[in-house]
Amino acid sequence: MSGTLGCAQTVPEITENLCRSGDDSPAAPHSFPGKTCFLAGALIGVDGDAPRAIEDLRVGDTLLAVTDTGIERRAIIWVGRRAVVPRDRSEFPVRIVRHAIADNVPFQDLLVTQDHCLFLDDMFVPVRLLVNNRSIFIDETFVQFDVYHVETAIHSVILANGVMTESFLDVGNKMIFTPLPSLRLVSDSTKVREERNGTDPL
């Protein structure tokens, strides 16, 4: 399978996201109608640094995107989070064990929701179709978990634990997520708190 960094591949245009939503509020944790996300701990390829946990990424960070001409740097324009309480087997995440795709790919276990797509053999494939109950399996040990996704200006092939996968594609379902603040907003709010407390920024 073609699933590693360094493969120059044609990235297809995606016109439909498998993550569909209902009218759910983003505030309360419950079952998740949209199933195309990463779980906390997924290490995303970023510019000029070691891979970073998806829960630590913010708007303004720069991701590494795999294109048909190599690697491009693309800024994050949106990050969303949602708490999930699975109600049945279809809502539990899939665990992709280290080496499941190729040697050292992923370089450590990767957890994603069942309809999240990997980019393999020049196409996006929902991970649920790859389940073999050995190296890729539905992990039913979770009672509740957080899911995250990141969006770039162009729907991109990005890297998670060394596996090529997809960025978020906005088809009108952002309302089911809680958006995370940008780097600038985090910095400004921290500065305001410090000034109110009579302390100097670190």
How confident is residue 183, by pLDDT bands cut at 50, 70 and 90?
low
Integer Cα distance of 149 and 105 in angstroms: 20
CA distances from 118 to 55, 128, 166 (A): 19, 10, 7
The answer on pLDDT for 177 being more than 70 is yes
Mean pLDDT along residues 53-68:
96
Q: Collapsing DSSP states into helix, strand and coil, what is residue 193?
A: helix
Instruction: State how far the alpha carbon of 30 is from the alpha carbons of 40, 118, 128, 190, in Å.
Output: 17, 25, 21, 31
- Which residues face 166 on adjacent strands? 157
Q: How confident is the model at residue 170 (pLDDT cuts 50, 70, 90)?
A: confident
- Supply the pLDDT for residue 172: 82
What pTM was estimated for this model as a whole?
A: 0.77
pLDDT in tens, 4-29: 333 333 344 433 333 333 334 443 44
Distance CA(1)–CA(139), nearest Å, equals 23
Helix (H) or strand (E) holding 70: strand 70-84
Tokens of 141: 């040990």
Nearest-5° Cα angle at 176, 172 to 177: 105
Mean pLDDT, residues 71-100? 96
Q: Give the model confidence (pLDDT) of 87-141 as tens digits.
A: 999 999 999 999 999 999 999 999 999 999 999 999 999 999 999 999 999 999 9
* CA angle 139–143–149, rounded 5-degree value: 70
Confidence at 49, pLDDT banded by 50, 70, 90: confident
The predicted pLDDT at position 184 comes to 52
**Gyration radius of the chain over CA positions:** 17
Q: How confident is the model at residue 192 (pLDDT cuts 50, 70, 90)?
A: very low
Spell out the residues 6+ positions from residue 174 whose beta carbon is closer than 8 angstroms to its own: 78, 80
Class of residue 137 by CB neighbours under 10 A (exposed 0-12, middle 13-18, buried 19+): middle
Tokens (6 digits) for 140? 């039913």
